[in-house]
A and B are shown apart, each in its own frame.
Chain A
Amino acid sequence: MPEPEPSFFTRHQFLIYRLFSLSGLVPVGAFLIVHLVTNASVLAGPGTFQSRVDMIHSLGPLLVPIEWAFIFLPMLFHATVGFVIIAGGLPNVGSYPYVGNVRYTLQRATGMIAFAFIIWHVLQLHWMGAPLGGGKFDPHHASSSAAVALQPVGVAILYAIGILSAVFHFANGLWTLGITWGLWTSPGAMRRANWISVAVGILLGAAGLGALGGMRRLDIEQAKVIENRMDDVKRMLEGQAPASEPAVRVPAAAPARPVSAPVSSAGR
């Protein structure tokens, strides 16, 4: 009897699973680190966070393709393969409650929580979510707009769960990635490597919760004043009139250098 031709996924399973493993580290994991550390800069004041956001948005029209190529598509790939992997397994912590098995189960649970959280988070804050009533993040008023969105206690709790899930998933995934690719092979090496994961997890978790707490504890009005002032400076550098009703008049600084290629941040 002729066997049906194996599917593309079956034929290239090894390659797909290895790309899945790699994508969890770069670019998805690397983005998580950059994202949480950038957001934690709000702890140094709304001005610091605003200047980080401005740096990202200085990419201008390149920002959208970069977001899709290095963040959204790799994340969707990682999530799709991840769901296939989850569907193929049968967790059994009830019968075998070993630490490794608990971590195996948590890795899958946190992956699914993080996936749901990220979809919600993107729709809530990213401009793509605007048609659905989201898109609340204003890159010109980074701290204050984020602070407003994060004010409800329920939102903050869901964010804490989502952030910690993503961080656990990344830190634990770092450890299993090392086994998968054969970086650490002996039980002793695995134990030592585990400390790297624990340290990464604690540091990133602190950064993530610090960012969340920092945003929520901001004085929103004061942050707006700072952001407006920074926005006016940016507009002046681009040769435009200040948008905000000038609450604080920026003293005319040295004549602005001519901006060769005006960077449009197109209302995002």
Chain B
Amino acid sequence: MIQRADSGHDNLPTGQGAVPADTPRTIHVRVLRQDAPGEESYWERHAVPYEPNMNVISVLQRIAERARAEDGREVPPVAWDCSCLEEVCGSCTMLVNGRTRMACSALVDRLLEENPSEIELRPMSKFPVVRDLKVDRGRLFRALERVKAWVPVDGSYDHGPGPRISPEEQEEAYPLSECMSCGCCLEACPQYTRIEIVQREDESDVDFARRRAAAYDKAFLGAHAVSQAVLFNSHPTGRMIADERMTALTSAGGIQMCGNAQNCVAVCPKHIPLTRSIARAGRAATMWAIRKLFDR
């Protein structure tokens, strides 16, 4: 167990004695790499010097700087996605020590408390790998298109001011609006299984994109899309296309695919009440099905 005094923003130059003696000098990192889509993946060990207050992104930056594996071989730098570095953009999701989380908010000191000997990094398992830790989360965004996760205000004329939303409704909606499309809920979901469509030799890009979209459209939407559908169906303007969202939610791969494992809500980095959204979508689907059955 590594015990470190939480020294805040001290810079701790070496030799000042503020770092306990058992602080590791070197962090060992095991990365599951893959050179290109569809190729075999392989493990590679890296070692980076310990610095205080590192996160997984800064570890990856050190690995990229060195571009050498632990055994000294020159290797291409490990590829990964990141942008905001403050857990709001949702782009740096990966499996850190086997668990889905944002690399930017995965602090090395905490990870070393879990496992002092090494840090293990893997790409998300539910999406096709582009390279190393970079994955193609197109299906995640396709699901948002399926449920029309937006307020329809496009048009050639002025719609006038939007309707007022009570503070109570705002408080309900705000947590759902915090979703950053990171995909943690999908990675941890046992009902969300990987779909990887490979382009055929004789297939045009357009045909490939169409075939991939068709495969995605039959598969489970995922908790994020269900929650966004609930968010936009609770918005007074968004509600105008509520029926289209209900159609999407009750189509193949819709809300019925949920198996109530509730991992989504347990791993969500933004603590979004995803299971409440799912249950609300379930209730709305019940009502909608009754209406469809008896009101037509």
Residues of A within 8 A of B (CB): 1, 3, 6, 10-11, 13-15, 17-18, 85, 88-92, 95-96, 98, 100-101, 103-105, 107, 176, 179-187, 190
Contacts and interface: CB of A to CB of B under 8 A. Distances in A.
Chain B interface residue number, banded: 35 or more
Given A18-B286, A180-B258, 4 more contacts: A11-B252, A101-B263, A180-B260, A182-B282
A184 B190 contact: no
A96 B188 contact: yes
Nearest to B98: A95
Contacts of B257: 13, 17, 88
Contacts of B255: 14
B67 interface: no
Interface stretch (B25-33, B46-54, B104-112, B206-214): B206-214
B262 A98 contact: yes
B45 interface: no
B2 interface: no
Most buried by A among B218, B279, B285: B279
Nearest to B278: A179
Contacts of B279: 179, 182, 184-186, 190
Interface of B: 98-99, 188, 190-191, 193, 207, 210-211, 214, 218, 250-263, 266-267, 273, 275-276, 278-287, 289
B191 A10 contact: no
A182 B284 contact: yes
A157 to B, nearest CB: 30
A190 B276 CA distance: 9
Contact of A98 (B263, B273, B283, B289): B263
B289 A187 contact: no
Nearest to A173: B260
Contact of B190 (A11, A89, A176, A180): A89
A92 B280 CA distance: 25
A246 B66 CA distance: 97
6 pairs of A and B residues whose beta carbons are closest in the complex: A182-B283, A100-B262, A104-B261, A17-B256, A185-B279, A182-B282
Contacts of B282: 179-182, 185
Given A90-B190, A187-B276, A104 B259 contact: yes
A13 B252 contact: yes
A182 B103 CA distance: 35
Contacts of B267: 96
